[in-house]
Amino acid sequence: MKSFMHFLALAAAVSCVVGQIIDYPDLRYLKAYTSTDPHATPAHEFLDSCPDLGVLGLDNVIKRVCLTGHWLLYSSISYAGNGTRYRGINTCYNLSTSTSISSLRYAGSPYGIDDVYFNLYNTSDYGGNEFKGNTNTETVVALDMEVSSLIISGQSPWTFFTGLKFTGQSACVHPIYSYSNNGISMHYYYELSITNLGLPDNSIRSVARGCLSNNVYRNELQQFQQRPQEDIEKTIRRED
């Protein structure tokens, strides 16, 4: 699998990726409709994020979505305001009449809907700037000490550290939820506030694949003695 890490800033140029949707059951996509009619033609088909739906004439007019993967829809541009999570495999949702959508983005791997991946966000409820990847990272770069919420995908746990280079307090997070449809499955976990993992807000500084902490979060955080640093370093070298 390719290694991938990426930081997305709010100041980045507007990019609303669109392309021909190939009919593969595990390819991510979101089709946006301005009507709740299930026979309507989609107004737009997204393969990736769009920080400002107004550039497409779709600000606050989306009434229905059909999608594969994990998608986050926001009430304001640049992934701000109220956020709503939608997930599925060739699944459709009619949006509430009170829902307003001004931006949207994908959470998860660009390579496959159940590939191992993490997404970090600098506001609660998955808003604001984002740092994402599928490999060990000694620093979360511009989100250093700014992470407030996270999403993990795939069938591997991740460990989040409050120190650079996998040091400090830590929490191991497992993908405790799963969704399946027609033989295709995806595993994931959402946490709208990292304080629920027993870590202070805005404290995450590094990330490692696997469960490298004795603080293990499944359905609830279990507190144990911190794992020795030399054991963490040995495991990370094997993962790399």
CATH code for the part of the protein at 10-107: 2.60.20.10
CA distance 51 to 209: 29
Kindly state the average pLDDT of the residues 9-15.
Answer: 43
3-state secondary structure 153-170: ECCCCEEEEEECCCEEEE
> What pLDDT sits at residue 232?
44
Asked if the model's pLDDT at residue 12 lies above 90, the reply is no
Locus of tokens 């993490």:
118
> What pLDDT sits at residue 96?
86
Which two structure tokens, joined as six digits, stand for 80?
């701000």
> What pLDDT sits at residue 18?
55
We find that the CATH architecture of domain 117-239 is Sandwich (2.60)
Instruction: Read off the pLDDT of residues 199-226 as tens digits, 9 standing for 90 and up.
Output: 999 999 999 999 999 999 876 544 333 4
Under the banding of pLDDT at 50, 70 and 90, the label for residue 197 is: very high
The CA angle 107-113-114, to the nearest 5 degrees, is 110
Instruction: Read off the pLDDT of residues 141-175 as tens digits, 9 standing for 90 and up.
Output: 999 999 999 999 999 999 999 999 999 999 999 99
Give the gyration radius of the chain's Cα atoms. 18
Which two structure tokens, joined as six digits, stand for 160?
């989040």
> What pLDDT sits at residue 97?
75
Could you tell me where in the chain the CATH 2.60.20.10 domains are found?
Answer: 10-107, 117-239
> What pLDDT sits at residue 39?
94
DSSP 103: E
Instruction: Read off the pLDDT of residues 109-131 as tens digits, 9 standing for 90 and up.
Output: 998 999 999 999 999 989 999 99
Q: What is the rounded average pLDDT for all residues in the chain? A: 86
Kindly state the average pLDDT of the residues 61-81.
Answer: 96
> What pLDDT sits at residue 234?
43
